[in-house]
Structure 1
Amino acid sequence: MKTIYSILFASLNTALNEKISIGLLMSDGYNTKFKFSSEKLLAVKAATEPERYGFIKNYLKALDDEILKSNNNIGLFTNKIFKVDWVTDNYMNYLSNYSNNLIQFSEPKFIDISFSTENFKRIFKKYVHVKYDSNEVIIETDNINKRVKERLYSTIDNRVNLDVSLDSSHFENLFTPIEINFIGMNGIPVVGQTVDFSKKHYNLENDIARFVSLTKAIELHDKKKGKYFILGHEPEGKEDKNHVLWSQIKNSDFLDFVDIDAIDIVEEYIEHFDVKPYFEKNVN
């Protein structure tokens, strides 16, 4: 799928058709990024009545939830009829045709450029607001978990347990429940987890800490070291906290980082070392 985007407009006066561009939604079918301008939102607040402003503000937050929960939940904007797996051209077309008179989406446009933060910034600055790097609310998600499932699951399905929810009933020393992509055994435990290194730093730290806690709980249970894959993408910004954490994981002695563009490394390992499911197939 090519990169596609839609501009969000906030209506200031329905009767006069006055509106202001306020946000940008962009996707390539795997990655989705959404951002709205806090300064534009303040302008809406100054130019319209409190009820109208409150609805627009809440709608933007609802869109945030819609995107973040799109893997597993029913779409908020379709009266819970249409299931949204990720943002697609059909979904954007739906949003452009959906009208509540206060928030409008432009007809989605395809562009022949790669999905990247830099390209997103260029479009945002051109159509929404020239100030991109202000202290605004930024909502984004790289739907890499969906991508991992599409590329890897069919090749390893018979050799591991997929999408397993683990808690202390599985490993006594696992104090916080965690959902992982896969777990298997070939004399040692083999575990894989997708990590989105583009998310907010404190959420990223929490994800990594929970996965490390799982590795320790497994090793206490099995009395042996394991093979632990972290699947993801290198984040942008060499000085960014997320990039520092990614670098630490990449150079770690007990975690194996694999870029999802080279995910066949995991497939080859699982096949070469004859990995078997950790649990009986009917047990999570």
Structure 2
Amino acid sequence: MNTFYSILSAVINPASGEKISLGLLLSDGNTSLFDYSDSRFSLLNSLIDKESKKFIRHYLKSIENVIAKIDVNQEQMTILDEVGKNMIINEPYISYMSVYNQNVVSFSKPVTIDVAVEEKIFTTLFSKFIDEETLVKSNTKTNIQILKNDFFSKVKTHYLIEKELTSKDFPDLLLPVSIDLFGKNENYVIAQFFELEKNINYIKNDYFDFFQLDKILKSGKKFFITQEPEKTKYQQQHYFWEQIRKQIGYTYIDISEIDIVSEYAVEHCVKPII
């Protein structure tokens, strides 16, 4: 079987076909190599909703799992690592996916190349198509997602990172929520980052998670972390930003002052526990 490669992308806008390349698959149907860029994946927070990002993360992990235990003799073809389904990666299947799977993630049409499936070849292709490809242009403001990822590594001894909470943790939670930073001292301490230069509906979804927990943890310390959106281009978002700063019950933090959150954790001995 011929060797082929295909680029896996996250679909940002199905209508326009806008995508961000995330990873690369190199395979001959028997041996496969796959990897994706963490830095590219981190850009998705400001571009798509949380559920779509969660699905993409699962999809990427599924590909890795499939490659680890691939069975080229099975007839049923799927790339999702689900119980009871056989798994396979070959050129016809990836070709099919490149045409009919364009909603959240997509594969490019497989390109046949006369090479062996080797790490050195894969690294060269990955560098060419993923690492060096032009990233989505950002404005002059601080990239919240990049800052957020860097900040997480500094406070992980004090906070649980991107903690998923359900009614098992707090019975009054109507729906599961995801909180960027979650810790506890004498009271609960939470912090949530908000990217306000994205679709207002995504912002509403992000805020609903924070709002739910805010109402439950009445005596806790809560940090709302963001920066002012550009007023002319993002009028609704800017109005939301103005109103948020007037709210009581939690502390508004501009990302330029984010060290306040880590300093609070040190001073109050915040621990990464529920």
**Other structure's SS at 1:81 match:** strand
How far off is 1:192 after superposition? Answer: 0.8
One-letter amino acid of the structure 2 residue matched with residue 275 of structure 1: V
Tell me, which stretches of 5 or more residues in structure 2 are unaligned?
A: 1-11, 27-32, 44-124
Alpha-carbon RMSD: 3.5
2:194 is the counterpart of 1:159:
no
Could you report, residue by residue, the CA deviation over 1:45-87 in whole angstroms, capped at 9, with x for unpaired residues? xxxxxxxxxxxx87x5261xx46xxxxxx53x65682312234
Equivalent position of 1:94 in the other structure: 129
Distance 1:181 1:201 in 2: 19
Q: What are the equivalent positions in structure 2 for 1:182-201 lying under 5 Å apart?
A: 182-201=181-200
Equivalent position of 1:205 in the other structure: 204
203 and 91 in structure 1: CA distance in 2 versus 1, 3 angstrom threshold = farther
Tell me, which stretches of 5 or more residues in structure 1 are unaligned?
A: 1-33, 36-56, 68-73, 98-106, 119-141, 220-224, 280-284
Equivalent position of 1:116 in the other structure: 139
Aligned-residue identity in percent: 26
How far off is 1:251 after superposition? Answer: 2.1
Equivalent position of 1:144 in the other structure: 144
One-letter amino acid of the structure 1 residue matched with residue 36 of structure 2: K
Q: Is the 8 A contact 2:181 2:190 kept in 1?
A: yes
How far off is 1:195 after superposition? Answer: 1.1
226 and 116 in structure 1: CA distance in 2 versus 1, 3 angstrom threshold = same
Equivalent position of 2:229 in the other structure: 235
How far off is 1:257 after superposition? Answer: 2.0
Could you report, residue by residue, the CA deviation over 1:197-227 in whole angstroms, capped at 9, with x for unpaired residues? 11111221221122111221233xxxxx111
Distance 2:173 2:154 in 1: 29
2:252 is the counterpart of 1:261:
no
Runs of 4+ off more than 6 Å:
none
From 17, 26, 45, the counterpart of 1:61: 17
Could you report, residue by residue, the CA deviation over 1:208-252 in whole angstroms, capped at 9, with x for unpaired residues? 122111221233xxxxx1111122221101671101111111221
TM-score (norm 2): 0.53
**Other structure's SS at 1:199 match:** coil
One-letter amino acid of the structure 1 residue matched with residue 205 of structure 2: N
157 and 95 in structure 1: CA distance in 2 versus 1, 3 angstrom threshold = closer
How far off is 1:260 after superposition? Answer: 2.0
One-letter amino acid of the structure 2 residue matched with residue 61 of structure 1: G
2:38 is the counterpart of 1:85:
yes
Distance 2:171 2:217 in 1: 9
Q: Is the 8 A contact 2:179 2:209 kept in 1?
A: no
Q: Is the 8 A contact 2:37 2:130 kept in 1?
A: no
Q: Is the 8 A contact 1:198 1:235 kept in 2?
A: yes
Distance 1:266 1:176 in 2: 26
**Other structure's SS at 1:184 match:** strand
Could you report, residue by residue, the CA deviation over 1:232-277 in whole angstroms, capped at 9, with x for unpaired residues? 2211016711011111112211222212222111111111122122
Distance 2:160 2:131 in 1: 40
Distance 1:233 1:115 in 2: 15
One-letter amino acid of the structure 2 residue matched with residue 144 of structure 1: I
Distance 2:161 2:131 in 1: 36
One-letter amino acid of the structure 1 residue matched with residue 37 of structure 2: V
Equivalent position of 2:7 in the other structure: none
